[in-house]
Amino acid sequence: MQSDIGVFLRSWLASPLKVGAIAPSGRALARMMTRSIGPATGHVVELGPGTGVFTRSLLLRGVREQDLTLIEFNEEFAHRLRRRFPKARVICTSAANIGNVDFRRRSSVGAVVSGLPLLSMPVATVSSILRGSFEHLRQGGDFFQFTYACRSPVDEQTLGMLSLQSSLVGSTWMNLPPASVYGIHRLGAPR
């Protein structure tokens, strides 16, 4: 089987804006993305998991594999994820469809972890992804997103329209390229 870096590079060459990175994220970024998540979080949804760097970190944090829903639209990545995490639910579709994904209970998701290239997506797609995610997130549940930019990955206007706000979780130089993690939460939600 081809290495994860090989598959990533090939997918990036085929559609750079959709894949958004030439290689999987590093472990330092994975730890930062998942640092507020643990066994008590319950169900976690991961958007754009790629080859599963954040997925592995979620498992190390104590999230049960059967409590993971992975939404990835690249078929080759989805195939790898199914082999690697056989107890997780892997859905091969666009994250913009998350609002239509069926979860057993309403508002039962404890956190959403996103590796999506939000900055290269149309605003309408970003809005669908956030609206759908927050329909499933329980009160106090956060949406974690990383970015290579020096600002929030979602602009103020889109956040305001959805009654959301974002705050910086942290930044790491131990990633290629260096990256920052933001937590997006409902406006006024206690921190």
**Residues engaged in binding ligand SAM (CB under 6 A):** 18-21, 24-25, 47-50, 53-54, 71-74, 77, 94-96, 115-117
Select 113 or 137, whichever has its Cβ closest to ligand SAM.
113
- Encode burial over 164-173: b for 16+ CB neighbours within 10 A, e otherwise: bbbeebeebe
Residues near 58 by beta carbon (within 8 Å), at least 6 away in sequence = 34, 37, 44, 46, 68, 113
Select 40 or 150, whichever has its Cβ closest to ligand SAM.
150
Select 48 or 141, whichever has its Cβ closest to ligand SAM.
48
To ligand SAM, the closest distance from the beta carbon of 73 in angstroms equals: 4
To ligand SAM, the closest distance from the beta carbon of 190 in angstroms equals: 28
Select 81 or 165, whichever has its Cβ closest to ligand SAM.
81
d(CA 51, CA 53): 6
To ligand SAM, the closest distance from the beta carbon of 78 in angstroms equals: 9
d(CA 99, CA 47): 12
Residues near 174 by beta carbon (within 8 Å), at least 6 away in sequence = 26, 28, 29
To ligand SAM, the closest distance from the beta carbon of 64 in angstroms equals: 20
127 three-class SS: helix
Select 94 or 172, whichever has its Cβ closest to ligand SAM.
94
Q: Which of 63, 119, 70, 110 is nearest to 90 (CA)?
A: 70
d(CA 80, CA 174): 25
To ligand SAM, the closest distance from the beta carbon of 90 in angstroms equals: 11
